[in-house]
Structures are given as structure tokens and as C-alpha cells.
Structure 1
């Protein structure tokens, strides 16, 4: 079997296609949640904290150095913990929504009727039950 035919077989599997669809939908969903956090959640946090954007929160270790003309000679060194906090909020919201989605999905799957056992299993159960009965 050539490499091209093996690749066709690999791609034709349902699980690979499902995974690809899941990755694309997950990336789009991540953008939606990021827009929600940037557009709604963080402005509310900024109102509570006095108007400062969370992404701008930082601890400056060394301030930027400027020359006499006001040009920056050396960039500031800072820990930008606000970006980390905003990313953690994004992650938490995405994880929570995925949790809710999977919880609803599992509930729907659980309500599906169980498949009837095969005929040979039913016959074996009848034989077992007949052997258990007293004579």
C-alpha cells in the first residue's frame, strides 16, 4: 500500500474528521469567549477597580530610560500580571462553558434507550433461568 493510499485511509476515518471539526469549532469558540471577556467582563472589572484595564496591570522592575530628547534608550522591565489574569479568566470561562456543554450532552446520551441484547444472549438467559427453576 502506497503512502498516498494510507493517507487517504487515515483521513477517511471518522475520528480524524471529527477531531478536525472539533479543533476548528474550538478555535472559533475561543475567539467568541475572548471577545466576551474583553468586551464585557473586563470593562466591568475596570469599573470596579477605578477604570484601569486589567491587561495594563503590571509591576515595573526597571522603568524605561529616556535620553535628553525624550527618545527611549532602554525599554522598561515589568511583570505584566494583568495579562496573565485576563488569560486565566478566558480559560476559566471556556472551561466552564465546555463543562456545561458536556454535562448537557451526557444527559442527552443517558436518556437514549439502551439497545436490545442480541438474540443469542436472550436465549442463553432463558436457558439459565430454566436451569435455576426447581423441578
Structure 2
């Protein structure tokens, strides 16, 4: 059983996934900090000190903090958009790297064009057209 686990754990896909999860978690922390420490305070300043996170509703003595939920939803969309933009950038860079440079069309001079016409006419005569 240990050997099977080692084979599974050391496969390339599993290691790639582990690295992706670690990098994703670190990137998530960076974007979360961007949202919480820079974007949302800026939005609060623009709205005159209003903070979405402070919105609450009290019902029969129970406080519902729906503002915190709305803040989490906003954070999610900003994080998702940021990840989308990074993936789009990497995809575009990879696509540019993978596409071979287009060859320039061959430019013929007048003599070459004339020779091609003569060749085509001779081949038509041989075939009886």
C-alpha cells in the first residue's frame, strides 16, 4: 500500500496540483489584502465613510450581519476577476510563444513570373487544353 501511495503522490500531475494550490493560496492572500486594505477603503472614502461590512439587521434580539456577507461576495468577485485576468495574460503569452512566425510570402520578379507563365502554357499544350 505504501508503494502505491508513493507512486500516486510522486506523479507529475499530483505535484503540479500541489504547487498550483500553494501558489493559488498565496495569490488569494495578496488579492484579499488588495481588496480589504486598498480597494474597499477607497470605496468607503468615495461613499463618504460608508462601509458595506458594517450593515446589520436586528430581529428579535438577533443581529444579522448581512454587510459582512455582502463584503465576502464583493471580495469573491474581485478575486475571481483578478485570477481570470492573470490566467488570460498567461494564456495570451503562451499562445504568442506557441504560434510560429508567419513566413513572408515569396516575392517574384518579372523574369520569374514570365517563366511561370511559360511553364503553365507549355503544360496546357501538352495536356491538349
> What TM bracket, shorter-length normalisation?
0.5 to 0.7
Whether contact under 8 Å (2:55, 2:68) holds in the other structure is yes
- Paired residues, what number? 100
- Post-superposition CA distance 1:34-84 (Å, at most 9, x none): 111111122123223432432221111134xxxxxxxxxxxxx12211111
Q: Which structure 2 segments of 5+ residues have no match? A: 101-126
Aligned twin of 1:88? 73
* TM-score (normalised: structure 1): 0.65
Q: Which structure 1 segments of 5+ residues have no match? A: 64-76, 115-134
CA RMSD of aligned residues (A): 2.0
How far, CA to CA, are the matches of 2:43 and 2:93 in structure 1?
36
Whether contact under 8 Å (1:59, 1:78) holds in the other structure is yes
Structure 1 stretches of 4+ moved >3 Å: none
Aligned twin of 1:47? 45
Structure showing greater radius of gyration is 2
Aligned twin of 1:104? 89
Aligned twin of 1:74? none
Whether contact under 8 Å (1:45, 1:54) holds in the other structure is no
* TM-score (normalised: structure 2): 0.67
Higher normalized strand content (fraction of residues): 1
1:113 CA displacement: 4.2
